[in-house]
Amino acid sequence: MPQTKSMDRQTVKQQTFEIVLCLFQDDPSQGCIETDGVGDGDDKFDPVPIANKLKEVADQMQKQWDKEFPPALLKFKHAHQKKDTNAAFSHAVDSVCQHPIVVEVVPEMRLINAAVALCLYLKSQAPELTTDIQQATTSFLDARVGSFVAEQGGWGAVARVMLL
């Protein structure tokens, strides 16, 4: 990736939250969240195109990981009963990432792709758990790739290099 200026972690955390909210909207262009102009470089941060790009990449990756998702769904539902959804989500993403994929990417991008693909699968299969899936996805992305995203200059910079 080209040299970029890093972004503070709190801004990345807020961006992650907004993007995950948009991932769960059927039509994010209808306004998934009001932004107050959180900066992403010289541009104003807009979570909608980033969420759309993540969905596009996740759709492509999901085909390669489709056998991994049904067991993850069962584990997530079981963990939900025990109030341990963050750990179940994290474990499922790690499990998915152990399997080969056609397109090789840096480990952080692989985590992002797997997390988004998994959250969208869980959303489609267990809509009653939407709030927990959103929370687990946001928590996972912040904890596991937040520093990487900040180093790249924010989610806008990361989205620009996804599957070029």
Q: Would you say residue 44 lies in a domain?
A: yes
- Pair 120, 96: CB distance under 8 Å: no
What is the tally of structural domains in the chain? 1
CATH number for the domain harbouring residue 134: 1.10.437.10
Look-up of token digits 């480990």: 107
Query: Is there a domain that residue 30 lies in?
Result: no
> Any residues with CB less than 8 A from the CB of 113 and at least 6 apart, and which?
57, 58, 61, 105
- So what's the pLDDT on residue 38? 40
pLDDT confidence of residue 35: 46
How far is 74 from 99, CA to CA, in rounded Å? 19
pLDDT digits (tens, 9 = 90+) for 76-124: 888 888 888 899 899 888 888 887 665 667 889 989 989 999 999 999 9
32 in a structural domain: no
Q: What is the pLDDT of residues 111-162, one digit of tens each?
A: 998 999 999 999 999 999 999 999 999 999 999 999 999 999 999 989 888 7
Is residue 62 a part of any domain in this protein? yes
Domain enclosing residue 47, as ranges: 9-23+39-161
Does residue 33 lie within any of the structural domains? no
pLDDT at position 37 over 50? no
- Give this prediction's pTM: 0.84
Tell me whether residue 1 is in a domain. Answer: no
92's tokens: 């499922």
The whole-number pLDDT of residue 123 equals 93
The reported pLDDT for the residue numbered 125 is 93
